[in-house]
Amino acid sequence: MAKVEIMSPVDVAWLSMEEPTNLMMVNAIITFDQPLDFDRVRQVLRYRWLRYHRFRQRVVRPPVPLLRPYWEDDPHFDLDLHLQRIALPAPGDRATLQEMVSDLMSGPLDFARPPWKFILIENYGEGCAIMARIHHCLADGMALVAVLLAMTDFYPDAPLTPGEPADDGPMAESWGGGLARDLGDSVGAARAAVGGLLRRARRRDAAVGLGEQGAGMGLAAGRLLARSPDPHTRLKGKLGVLKRAAWADPIPLTDVKLIKNAFGGTVNDVLVAAVTGGLRHYLVDRGDDVGDDSGGLEIRAAIPVNLRRDDDNGKLGNRFGLVFLTLPIHIEQPLMRLAEVRRRMLELKRSAEAPVTLGILGAMGLGTDAFREFVVRMLEPKATLVLTNVPGPPVPLYLAGQRIRDLMFWVPQAGRLGVGISILSYAGNVHLGIVTDAGLVPCPEEALAGVVAEVARLKELALAVAASSR
């Protein structure tokens, strides 16, 4: 008899938000300077990816209303149906790869099978790329990046041998840093307040009751629900099916730390301020009125915050909440913008928003379709973009015998948002990626270029400060 597991309420929430115009998929791209051996890639997936039994299971939706979907062993599981091999057309450059990645991420997965897929893309320059597509109901970005990294090695000729099942075992090491960790560490008090509730939710697999959280949780929920809608900009609107993805050249982490050391704050403060400045440049270049240092346009970014406990590390599923950071788009002066972002980040770290939104997601998973639609419509106006920052390894890694040159990922824009910006650190560099709705932002690389330019501008100011102090 096939193994059956009831899906957790939070995982159900991410499954239920799937729409043709906003697929709930985590997409990742990994690039290499040298070609990969297809058979070896297949063996890596067999020995390391499939150690997690969940990747052999498919989603089953019961016909009876209010019964939760469940995981069922796929009786016809075939690895070859989840591993594709395609050739990148000429000229095989980054623009061509970005176009292919955009087309691939615009299409859904087949839910008749386990909802994940890997695509080996050959003829990318002198090397190749791997694109991974994994549905959010399987796990959140933190968990999936860890599983992806668990397939890698520290040296090229590491042996490939079968391992023990890793359903509940440790995944890749957490290397520290990152906005998610920075905020996650700061919600310790809120997490402690809701700890008993979360434990009860895990025991009985039930929704988090927002009315039982105490004054802090209730206040955070009230503030969240009372927030006014984000203003209308060209970044926000009705979504279409086609998406556009882009990523920038890596930024040396030393440059970001130079800025941090000169002006205070954290690495994350610097990167968020750069994102804010980049979006300002994008809007101003198109003639939009965003205001000035005295006041004007502000938009919110939904930021995932890891709420895993130590004993949750290494497990699939979704265990994160969201906080909503207001980006001061109107501020023109980069140092004023950095200082204001830093102030707002410190304020968010004292907020209980993350556990509250985790509770909302759990309630969505237990509710009716009508209730889930109500929640999405309630949260949809309150943000313009999703902003994620996931820490990666500080040293180069190898996959299937070849050194990973660059890697990037994108999480879905939950709440029918049209822009997602991702930050990932790897081997001493910061990697920036963006995914947009093609109808709203048809040239996302231009928005990303503004972010990179803002980092360069802050670096110049930091160097000037360093020179003046000598």
269 and 345 fall within a common domain: yes
Confidence at residue 428, expressed as pLDDT on a 0 to 100 scale: 95
Spatial CA neighbour of 272 closest among 295, 261, 256, 291: 256
189 and 118 fall within a common domain: no
Confidence at residue 153, expressed as pLDDT on a 0 to 100 scale: 93
DSSP 291-303: EETTEE--EEEEE
Burial class from Cβ neighbours inside 10 Å (0-12, 13-18, 19+) for residue 110 reads: exposed
Confidence at residue 351, expressed as pLDDT on a 0 to 100 scale: 76
Confidence at residue 223, expressed as pLDDT on a 0 to 100 scale: 66
**94 is in which domain, residue-wise?**
4-149
Confidence at residue 200, expressed as pLDDT on a 0 to 100 scale: 38
Q: What is the CATH number of the domain that holds 68?
A: 3.30.559.10
Confidence at residue 411, expressed as pLDDT on a 0 to 100 scale: 85
Last residue of a domain, one of 105, 127, 149: 149
201 and 350 fall within a common domain: yes
Count: domains in the chain:
2
95 and 241 fall within a common domain: no
User: Does residue 165 belong to any structural domain of this protein?
Assistant: no
User: Does residue 164 belong to any structural domain of this protein?
Assistant: no
User: Does residue 336 belong to any structural domain of this protein?
Assistant: yes
217 and 295 fall within a common domain: yes
pLDDT in tens, 240-289: 999 999 999 999 999 999 999 999 999 999 999 999 999 999 999 999 99
Sequence-distant (≥ 6) Cβ neighbours of residue 97 within 8 angstroms: 29, 31, 88, 121, 124, 129
Confidence at residue 194, expressed as pLDDT on a 0 to 100 scale: 33
138 and 183 fall within a common domain: no
184 and 142 fall within a common domain: no
Burial class from Cβ neighbours inside 10 Å (0-12, 13-18, 19+) for residue 38 reads: middle
Question: What are the structure tokens assigned to 15, written together?
Answer: 């499954």
Question: What are the structure tokens assigned to 287, written together?
Answer: 């003639």
User: Per 3-state DSSP, what percentage of the chain is helix, strand, and coil (rounded to 5)?
Assistant: 40, 25, 35
Q: What is the CATH number of the domain that holds 433?
A: 3.30.559.30
Q: Which SS3 state, helix, strand or coil, does residue 142 take?
A: helix
d(CA 419, CA 438): 10
Low-confidence ranges of the chain (pLDDT < 70): 1-2, 162-226, 310-314
277 and 358 fall within a common domain: yes
Confidence at residue 177, expressed as pLDDT on a 0 to 100 scale: 29
User: Does residue 122 belong to any structural domain of this protein?
Assistant: yes
Confidence at residue 206, expressed as pLDDT on a 0 to 100 scale: 38
User: Does residue 108 belong to any structural domain of this protein?
Assistant: yes
Backbone angles phi and psi of 142, in degrees to 5: -60, -45
239 and 346 fall within a common domain: yes
User: Does residue 174 belong to any structural domain of this protein?
Assistant: no
133 and 229 fall within a common domain: no
Confidence at residue 214, expressed as pLDDT on a 0 to 100 scale: 42
329 and 445 fall within a common domain: yes
User: Does residue 170 belong to any structural domain of this protein?
Assistant: no
User: Does residue 388 belong to any structural domain of this protein?
Assistant: yes
Question: What are the structure tokens assigned to 417, written together?
Answer: 């948002």
